[in-house]
Structures are given as structure tokens and as C-alpha cells.
A and B are shown apart, each in its own frame.
Chain A
Amino acid sequence: GAGVSQTPSNKVTEKGKYVELRCDPISGHTALYWYRQSLGQGPEFLIYFQGTGAADDSGLPNDRFFAVRPEGSVSTLKIQRTERGDSAVYLCASSPGRTPHTDTQYFGPGTRLTVL
């Protein structure tokens, strides 16, 4: 079946611009995660949704970052006033959500964001 998809695959923007990154999880998965991966690092947790609500957004670095999941499926990560330091690969993952502690997370291919 279809896996997690993310669009766009690449995004180049200028400093100060606004960007939106989209994640389509596996159908039926109630848990959705956003991570950021910088070069040479592992994925860094940003936010976790259970259904429509953000169950844990403690990883969002500042108030320029915001994520929504209005209908409990597709999620959008929004970054305002982008900075060069926001350049990274943004990963989305989903899991069935019944037992998030132990569920396998299924990752998408990521969106590579470059802020010039």
C-alpha cells in the first residue's frame, strides 16, 4: 500500500519568507510525527499529533514553527520568517497510534528545505 508521502521534495526559499511543508500519512494512522534532520545529525523531534490534536509540541524550536492536522490525516508544518538555520530535511512519520510507545514509525522521504 501507499506509504507516507511528503511534498514538496525540495524547497528553496529566501530568508524571511513563509513556507509550508505537507505530510500525507498512511491511511488509518492516527499518530503523526514531524522531525528535523540537519546534516550529520539524527532526526530531531518537533511535534507529535494524536488525531487532530498536538499531543506534544515541545520540540518546536520557537514560535515561528507551527503545525496543524485539521482532519486527523494530512498535516502541514508551517515556518514563518525563515532563517538560514532552518535549512534541513524535514521528516514526517506516522504510526497506527494505538500504542505510540511501541508502534513502528513509518517515515516519509522528507522535504529538503534550503533557506538562502
Chain B
Amino acid sequence: AQSVSQHNHHVILSEAASLELGCNYSYGGTVNLFWYVQYPGQHLQLLLKYFSGDPLVKGIKGFEAEFIKSKFSFNLRKPSVQWSDTAEYFCAVNPTDSWGKFQFGAGTQVVVTP
């Protein structure tokens, strides 16, 4: 069965620190990859997505992610976090042969301290 793994469930870091959140998936075919974010009290919203082309994808608010096909990974990064990046981050995978079926990871709660 396909799965999406987010290795860190909870991350605490200080402002200006660098952030990297891991996401690995198990699926042998072609996939589209997404990172969604949920800020406190808000709805889930898209940070960035990858479906083809340059494996380094840039999203909103200075986030980027790199797709490494050989490692089945799609890690999220931000060089310098701000307090406002405190949120829960979800990786999601959509196999291209499952038209509308998306699988989400369990999420990583990120807390940025001032």
C-alpha cells in the first residue's frame, strides 16, 4: 500500500534558524507532490507543488522543496524562519494514475520561538 511519511512530528526552532522537513513516499509510479500548511486557526492552504520540470520548486513565503526521485523524497526547506511560520505542515502525494486521490502525511508541527 502507498504511504507518505513525515519523519518529524514536532519541531521547535528559533527565529532565523533554517528549517528542513522530510517527506518520503512509497509509490512506484509517477506522482505529483504537494506541501500544505495550516496556520493556527486557519484552513489548510497550499505552500507549493511539483508535477514536472525543475525538481527544485519555490513556493510562497520563501519556502522551497526538492524532489529527489531516486530517494522518493520531497523535502521542504526555508533558510530563515520567522515566528509567523509557526504552523502544521503536511506533505501530500497524488499518483497520476489515481486521478483525484490524494494521500497526506501525518503532519509536522513547527513552533518558531522569538
Contact = CB atoms under 8 A, between A and B. Distances in A.
Interface majority SS (helix, strand, loop, mixed), chain A: loop
A62 interface: no
B90 A101 contact: no
Contacts, number: 68
A31 B100 contact: yes
Interface residues of B, number: 25
B104 A44 contact: yes
Contact of A107 (B45, B94, B96, B98): B45
A106 B9 CA distance: 24
A55 B100 contact: yes
Determine which residue in A40, A42, A93, A105 has the highest number of CB atoms from chain B within 10 A of its CB, and name it.
A42
B43 A3 contact: yes
Interface residues of A, number: 29
25 contacts: A3-B43, A4-B43, A40-B9, A40-B106, A40-B107, A42-B6, A42-B105, A45-B101, A45-B102, A50-B100, A56-B99, A56-B100, A56-B101, A91-B44, A100-B100, A101-B51, A101-B94, A102-B51, A104-B49, A105-B102, A107-B36, A107-B44, A107-B45, A109-B43, A110-B43
